[in-house]
Amino acid sequence: MLELVDQRPPTLGRGRLVCVDGPAGSGKTTLADEIRAVTGAPVVHMDNLYEGWGGLPRVGQQLERLLLPLSRNRPGSYRRWDWYADRWAEVVVVPPAPLLVLEGVGSGSRAVAELITVLAWVEAPADLRLERGLARDGVHLDEYLSAWSVAEETHFAREGTRERADLVIDGTRGAGGRP
């Protein structure tokens, strides 16, 4: 993946943007962490940008607030969602960088497609994704995870994310594969 990133011109001002998208529990965070380990690139997690469990349809404004200034070589920002308090928290400033990794459902949205250098789609079978989600978030969130699954399916169908991806990565091994 990193070879592909290096072969492409900057799309985020003087920097490049890798978006790691795919359904919840597919291995996106693992892949993003691998990229960070190899490159030192900052990672922004989409979980911090959603307005709670129902926030996926409205995340575009957050993406624009984050990425449009970066495309002009200025710091971008987003308002972090506090999942425990169930409300918006502080503003997080993200300075321009040679490489930024945006990880999570919706990171490859069409609204910011022209700013994406490489779009990676990570996938895994639904039963494995559910098992990972329940292990990560807790069994008590099963109803939220089910509703989220419907929201992300709707989002992916509308956005055509998998079809637009530069790379499709098998997330079944836990690690998203070599970056």
pLDDT at 139 over 60: no
Residues 98-109, mean pLDDT to the nearest whole number? 97
Calculate the average pLDDT of the chain.
91
Q: Which of these ranges, 36-40, 51-55, 135-139, has the smallest mean pLDDT? A: 135-139
Of 90, 108, 9, give the one whose Cα is nearest residue 48.
Answer: 90
pLDDT tens per residue, range 52-84? 999 999 998 899 999 999 999 999 999 999 999
pLDDT at 117 over 60: yes
Residues 94-100, mean pLDDT to the nearest whole number? 98
pLDDT tens per residue, range 1-11? 999 999 999 99
C-beta contacts of 83-90 below 8 A and 24+ residues apart = 83/47, 83/52, 86/52, 88/51
Q: Residue 177 — very low, low, confident or very high, per pLDDT cuts 50/70/90? A: very low
| Segment (H or E) for 65 | helix 60-71
Quote the pLDDT of residue 148: 83
The strands making up 99-103's β-sheet, listed across from edge to edge, are 43-45, 99-103, 16-21, 118-123, 167-170
Q: How many helices, marked H, and strands, marked E, lie in the chain?
A: 6, 7
Let me know: does 118 contact 9? Beta carbons within 8 Å.
no
Q: Could you give the domains of the chain? A: 2-47+99-170 (3.40.50.300)
